Amino acid sequence: MLENTSDESFTLQLDEVTEKYLTIYLYKDVQNIEEIHKKLISKELPCCIVKANLVLDPFQLVIAANKAALNEKYKQMVTRSLFTEVIYCLSTSKNISQSLTTFGISDDTTNILVILIHNAEGKEIQEKLVLDSISGERIPISKLSQFTDVNLIKSTYKIDKDESKVSSLLDSIVSRISDKVSK
| Domain ranges for the chain | 9-179
pLDDT of 12 higher than 70: yes
Taking the alpha carbons of 41, 45, 51, 55 in that order, is the dihedral positive or negative? positive
Q: How confident is the model at residue 2 (pLDDT cuts 50, 70, 90)?
A: very low
CATH 3.40.50.720 assigned to 9-179: no
pTM: 0.94
In this structure, which amino acid lies at residue 91? S
Tell me the per-residue pLDDT of 129-165, one tens digit each, with 9 for 90 and over. 999 999 999 999 999 999 999 999 999 999 999 999 9
pLDDT of 120 higher than 80: yes
Tell me the per-residue pLDDT of 42-53, one tens digit each, with 9 for 90 and over. 999 999 999 999
Give CA–CA dist 1/133, Å, rounded.
28
Tell me what the mean pLDDT of segment 48-60 comes to: 97
